[in-house]
Chains A and B, each alone.
Chain A
Amino acid sequence: MADFTRNEMMTIAAARALRNEDVCFVGIGAPSAACNLARLTHAPGITLIYESGTIATKPNVLPLSIGDGELCDTALTTVSVPEMFRYWLQGGRITVGFLGGAQIDRFANLNTTVVGDYHKPKVRLPGGGGAPEIATNCGETFIIMAMGKRAFMEKLPFITSMGHGVTGKEREQLVVRSKGPTKLITDLCIFEPDPQTNEMTIVSIHPGATREEIIENCGWSPRFAANVSETPAPTAQELEVLRDIQARTKAAHGA
């Protein structure tokens, strides 16, 4: 087995969740790495869409911003931002929305807005951007986030985008027909919603991670599925493609 970091395992496990036929609305950062890894490995036919309006884009380096020129240069077509949100996202053309977040709860609601009181913030975070509507207008959503007690919270100070709601039943009550978060991929394990309660439940643990570690890094007491599998380790090819694109990206952005 090749050596790999937990961050690499997370990105690779996230990439595997995508299918060749998906039309995917890509968030910046970790989601963007995972989506492009999928495109460069098992899902060459995947359509990647960024909220800047670029449709079916095939960037050679990962964009730093959601609207780098690379995205437009390698896209099939680029539409205006109002058109992107109205016709493509709200129009129901997207099968998967891929999001990251700052904080998450057991029903995969996300906070990227504020820590502390909204009007007297302890820490002001960037806000929602496209996420509030991505979370309800895509067929389903995948979330990628590294675990930690400050990120995986019993109760969020603010809900920026809805997962399964505060009780797990809000999607049904609000007549939202999309599935919401069907996968939460972390650096230690993969969660999926429990079929009855919608609580995010651990279904697979990454090689090298333990149940104790997962519990330690989670702000609530997490549920494990009856049958928890081990996530297959990254293949040599997955690692090579991921490291290549990250090296190209680093060289391009001059960081």
Chain B
Amino acid sequence: MAKFLSLADAVAQMVHDGDTLAMEGFTHLIPFAAGHEIIRQKRRDLTLIRMTPDLIYDQMIGMGCAKKLVFSWGGNPGVGSTHRIRDAVENGWPCALAIEEHSHAAMANAYEAGAANLPFAMLRGYIGVDLPKVNDRIKSITCPYTGEKLATVPAIRPDVGIIHALRADREGNVLLEGITGCQKEVVLASKRTIVTVEEIVDNLGTTSPNSVVLPSWTIGAVVCVPGGAHPSYAHGYYKRDNSFYIAWDKLSRDRDGFLAWMDENVMKKGPDAFAVHAKGSAA
């Protein structure tokens, strides 16, 4: 059964230096509060896995948490570059960052293979492109029935998976609705898991028997952090803060400005700082 912990305790117990860590949420439900806690606890040498690194990994990489990034699209969606990731890749600041790059289809398949306890994923992909020339983890297999050549990538089996969900009940079962990305796959593929939620309720209030519910016994720790997905969003709670994503372009462009913002808004704050966003704009 999932334990109910504070965010500081959950990160201290579950996330260690050198871990492979996947924090998912496809634009929706990105676990920003958990990312900030990892930054505050100064984890180092992490291998960070995410389809879209987004601002959360831009911040963690800019603060020196990572030695490697596994990803498939590394921009600020609709805005432009993730400047801190670029600075790490192009200039090694604040430390060198190795990259392992895939396509979205390959990563989605790799998470699914992880959840399904398979060693690798197979897809009709990477055809006629250069990525397999620079990423030797991309290989191929011949279909034993048709002879078709198909691309393969290793399953993703993180040490730790972290997601943000809408709510949990008092037993620690959690609910996701809306754009659910590959969060279910990440939780089922990871050795240890943390789920942050908007609220803890008596009854999950699922809208359909097919809503995505992860049973308590699949989760390591549940942490209540209202607003914890800001500036991404939580379906039915608050909207994506698109103006913050636009503003981040300027805030993150130079190193000093970035460090000042992080000091003010992350290092000197705690998870409670996110609560204000939960009450922002009802989605």
Contacts and interface: CB of A to CB of B under 8 A. Distances in A.
A67 B28 contact: yes
Contacts of B85: 124
Interface residues of A, number: 58
B108 A86 contact: yes
A66 B243 CA distance: 15
A44 interface: no
Contacts, number: 184
Contacts of A198: none
A123 B85 CA distance: 12
Contacts of B111: 82
B27 A67 contact: yes
Nearest to B80: A126
Given A69-B178, A80-B182, A253 B72 contact: no
Given A86-B108, A118-B134, A65 B240 contact: yes
Nearest to A164: B128
Interface stretch (B119-127, B195-203, B214-222): B119-127
A52 B130 CA distance: 25
Contact of A132 (B109, B125, B184): B125
Interface stretch (A147-155, A170-178, A189-197, A217-225): A170-178
B124 A129 contact: no
Given A65-B27, A69-B28, A121-B90, A160 B130 contact: yes
A54 B179 contact: yes
A65 to B, nearest CB: 4
Nearest to B212: A80
Contacts of B123: 85-86, 90, 133
Contacts of B78: 28-29, 63-65
B5 to A, nearest CB: 27
A56 B221 CA distance: 36
Interface string B12-29: 000000000000001110
Nearest to A64: B78
B105 A78 contact: no
Nearest to B133: A118
Contacts of B242: 64-65, 68, 252-255
27 contacts: A52-B181, A53-B179, A64-B79, A67-B181, A68-B27, A85-B104, A86-B108, A113-B101, A123-B90, A124-B74, A124-B81, A124-B89, A125-B75, A126-B74, A127-B74, A128-B131, A130-B73, A130-B105, A133-B105, A136-B127, A136-B128, A158-B130, A160-B129, A161-B129, A174-B127, A253-B242, A255-B243
